[in-house]
Amino acid sequence: MTELRPARILAVETSCDETACAILENGRMLLGSAVASQMELHARYGGVYPEVASRQHVLSIVPVIEEALGKAHLTFQELDAIAVTRGPGLAGALVVGVNAAKGLALALGLPLIGVNHLEGHLYSPWVYTAGDKPPEEPEFPLMVLLVSGGHTELDLMTNHLEYNRLGATLDDAAGEAFDKVARLLNLGYPGGPAIQAAAEDGSPDRFNFPRAWLDGTWNFSFSGLKTAVMREAKDLQGKARTLPVQDMAASFQAAVVEVLFRKTMDAARELGARAIVVAGGVSANRTLRQRFQSQSEFKVHVPPLWLCTDNAAMIAAAGYYRFALGHTSGLDIDVEPTWPLS
Ligand code: KG4
Ligand code: ZN
């Protein structure tokens, strides 16, 4: 790849329930970042309430942009481009970020870059905080496991911005399965961290929950697993037994992790990948991280915890590579709530 030109990108992310802004230099070095989480607001509904999310983004967007710029000790005049998440995500939430970014680009006379949220997640391992030692850059071809609340897919990344989708979930995303199982075990929202915490003291071998291998494909399926946990819970409750929530959480988590790990390793071997990236909210899961870090024969790049869940630094990173390769957007772009990565 040819030498990329230096640039300072400000990115905005409002695809779901975090209002976020970050400024990144040369695609990797984070100068400032701010995230306003709406998690507590949505917890009472047991999931993200789209209308509430949009209204909260409207309230938070300007303070979050100001906070990120302040942390970076920069003014608007020192920026080179504005990146923003166009999708996938909640339409009403995306609109807030896209309009804020358009306003900035127009007022400052800067290029606008529409970014795919999934592309943002997979660029998260490139990011490091200014002053820290830069982590090794992932080498292509890369096997990417993208595991978030809305998506679960395997992609072969052959170069910057070049992806081949190998397979994806046929039903629930991995994060969605965590959230649904947490709800049925009364563990609250968001489900991933709640299941992880409950599983700490549970036995992963107590229940032999099903693993959907879907042999011969790189697809995933988690709805059968979720149903199996639900049946077991009903069965135990029918016998007037208190639910062994910790063992159920640990056994469920073990089933998800085993499928994600084994299929990713098989895909990496079969397609000749040089390294693996695991990204998206579920990549924050401790058991999943440990499995990849201890048992992979490939170099594994997993972002630090704060870059696993939604943030704007990853959008700035993907935005930088788009900008550097000339992929800027017009001011007439719209949101793309169901935009696939490839
Ligand atoms: O990437 P993300 O912040 O938002 C989307 O783009 O969807 O991912 C959120 C998802 C939620 O389903 C949440 O339960 C899951 O990531 N998650 C986890 C953990 N932390 C967040 N799942 C398992 N273990 C975790 N520690
Ligand atoms: Zn996300």
Verify whether ligand 1 is closer than 6 Å to residue 190 (CB atom). yes
Instruction: For 142-175, write each residue's pLDDT tens digit.
Output: 999 999 999 999 999 999 999 999 999 999 999 9
Of 287, 258, 311, the C-alpha closest to 125 is 311
**90, 178, 181: which to mutate for ligand 1, most atoms within 8 A of CB?**
178
Report residue 59 CA to chain centroid gap. Answer: 23
Token pair, residue 189, equals: 């929202």
Verify whether ligand 1 is closer than 6 Å to residue 112 (CB atom). no
Question: Cα(148)–Cα(63) distance, rounded to whole angstroms?
Answer: 27
**94, 309, 311, 341: which to mutate for ligand 1, most atoms within 8 A of CB?**
309
Per-residue confidence (pLDDT) for residue 277, from 0 to 100:
98
| Contact of 312 with 33, CB cutoff 8 Å | yes
Token pair, residue 141, equals: 């071809």
* CA dihedral of residues 92, 97, 102, 105 (deg, nearest 10): 180
Of 97, 134, 142, the C-alpha closest to 279 is 142
For the chain, the average pLDDT equals 96
| Contact of 41 with 80, CB cutoff 8 Å | no
User: Residues, the chain, total?
Assistant: 342
Instruction: For 81-117, write each residue's pLDDT tens digit.
Output: 999 999 999 999 999 999 999 999 999 999 999 999 9
The contacts of residue 49 (CB under 8 Å, 6+ apart) are 41, 42
- List beta partners, residue 25: 8, 29
- List beta partners, residue 84: 12, 114
Per-residue confidence (pLDDT) for residue 40, from 0 to 100:
86
CA 334 / ligand 1 centre spacing (Å): 26
Instruction: For 45-55, write each residue's pLDDT tens digit.
Output: 888 899 999 99
Token pair, residue 218, equals: 């790189």
Q: Is the pLDDT of residue 2 over 70?
A: no
pLDDT band at residue 176 using 50, 70 and 90 as cut-offs: very high
Question: Cα(95)–Cα(283) distance, rounded to whole angstroms?
Answer: 27
- What average pLDDT does range 253-257 have in this prediction? 98
* CA dihedral of residues 160, 167, 301, 67 (deg, nearest 10): 70
Token pair, residue 304, equals: 């630090």
Instruction: For 20-76, write each residue's pLDDT tens digit.
Output: 999 999 999 999 999 999 988 888 888 889 999 999 999 999 999 999 999 999 999
Q: 3-state DSSP call for residue 227?
A: helix
**Residue 233, φ and ψ in degrees, nearest 5:** -65, -45
Instruction: For 211-236, write each residue's pLDDT tens digit.
Output: 999 999 999 999 999 999 999 999 99
Parallel, antiparallel, or unpaired for β 142-147 and 275-279? parallel
pLDDT band at residue 296 using 50, 70 and 90 as cut-offs: very high
Please state the pTM of the whole predicted model: 0.95
**17, 148, 152: which to mutate for ligand 1, most atoms within 8 A of CB?**
148
pLDDT band at residue 5 using 50, 70 and 90 as cut-offs: confident
**Ion ligand 2: protein residues whose beta carbon lies under 5 Å:** 148, 310
- List beta partners, residue 109: none
AA identity, residue 144: V
